[in-house]
Amino acid sequence: MKAISILGSTGSVGVTTLDVAGRFSDRFRVVAMAAGRNLDLLTEQVKRFHPELVSVATPELARELAARVGAQRVTIVHGLEGAIAVATHPAAKLVMSALVGAMGLQPTLAAIKAGKDIAFANKEVLVIAGELITAAVRENRVRLLPVDSEHNAVFQCLEGRGRESLKRIILTASGGPFRELAADNFESITVEQALKHPTWRMGSKITIDSATLMNKGLEVIEARWLFDLKAAQVSVVIHPQSVIHSMVEMIDGSVIAEMAIPDMAIPVAYALAYPERLPMTHLKPLSLAENSRLTFEEPDLRRFPCLRLAYEALAAGHTMPACLNAANEELVAGFLAGRVRFMDIPRHIETVMQRHHNSAARTIEDLLETDGWARAAARELIGARPVAA
């Protein structure tokens, strides 16, 4: 039985991970989980899975959770130190890294240094610190198993194939809810509209990132580090049906694709059980007859400049990707709160990047300093341009 820890148990990937673990309880044991503030869901998870260790955001939430779970034998911790304790739980063989944004950086790195294999669903960690994370993976001889559907697809397509035969990878994107929206209408996009993703059901932050195509941009940077590629070897194509999750093109012209229904349970299960596969018989099988029309198109970088900005950050390297990510997190939060417009997200990110003094990232502290600077710069821009009622 494989013991697992989950960073981000109440998020969409965390919930899916627990669902898979529950369906295969003879194969997986959840020994630790970290969440934020969703105590209602977390209480249910603790009572069902009986972890030994649980972390929440604050001391107050830790006390409330203790009162809710009563006599159940569980150690409750909080904050960054608590998340790191979950990530480094002695019994865990695999850590599901599914926290949202930069908050997953230090716990994930701690898990790697503790010798844990990582099921990796927190793309921002590699965006911020790809070089440091991959170096730690090599040094500690652990596995980084991608969970994002696109990278998991590439991982499957490359299984058993020599990298010397790889020409490039092709990440697919649904195009989000505004793929066919005229550019003139982008200025009036509302939060409600942006949260209506046509294919996937995800948390609010990643849903907005999908609407701006920043999510795909972050995935480009993630792919560069996961698969040790050059930026030119990572392509993006819009595929609205979300049936092909990604492809790899070999040097002989062959293109190999991974196809499945759009359900995160499939890549989660593959990462949890790797190198084995689980019989996911509860899922509807993919019907090619029902999906007889698969279409592809190039992304429109004029309407979706966030993807362009991500490529530019990757080309610049050093601390620029960390700057991009931090600014994006702050601006997405500002959009969700009604403080900036949809198109202010890429505009303000570009301004922050232009103001950033890019420098070598030798330590985590260098990256955290950039993260803090970029957040402050983005917040200043948010305050400088309030949204009209």
pLDDT digits (tens, 9 = 90+) for 80-137: 999 999 999 999 999 999 998 788 999 999 999 999 999 999 888 999 999 999 999 9
Q: What proportion of the chain, given as a percentage, has pLDDT over 90?
A: 89
Q: What proportion of the chain, given as a percentage, has pLDDT over 70?
A: 98
Average pLDDT score over residue span 265-272: 97
Q: How far apart are CA 181 and CA 322, in angstroms?
A: 30
Give residue 387's pLDDT band: very low, low, confident or very high (50, 70, 90): very low
Cis peptide before 275 (omega within 30 of 0): yes
Residue-wise pLDDT tens digits, 25-81: 999 999 999 999 999 999 999 999 999 999 999 999 999 999 999 877 899 999 999
Q: Please state which CATH number belongs to domain 2-142.
A: 3.40.50.720
Q: How far apart are CA 335 and CA 30, in angstroms?
A: 35
pLDDT(345) > 60: yes
Three-state DSSP class for 5? strand
Residue-wise pLDDT tens digits, 157-185: 999 888 899 999 999 999 989 999 998 99
pTM recorded for the entire structure:
0.91
pLDDT(388) > 90: no
Q: How confident is the model at residue 389, as a pLDDT? A: 34
- Residue 31 near residue 89 (C-beta atoms within 8 A): yes
Domain 317-389 has CATH 1.10.1740.10: yes
Domain boundaries, the chain: 2-142, 149-261+285-302, 317-389
Residue-wise pLDDT tens digits, 90-100: 999 999 999 98
Residue-wise pLDDT tens digits, 200-221: 667 788 899 999 999 999 999 9
Q: How confident is the model at residue 108, as a pLDDT? A: 96
With a CB cutoff of 8 Å and minimum separation 6, the contacts of 258 are 152, 153, 154, 156, 157, 244, 245, 246, 247
- Residue 151 near residue 270 (C-beta atoms within 8 A): no
Phi/psi for 238 (5° steps) reads: -80, 130
Q: Do domains 2-142 and 317-389 have the same CATH topology?
A: no
Q: Dihedral of CA 39/42/46/52: which sign?
A: negative
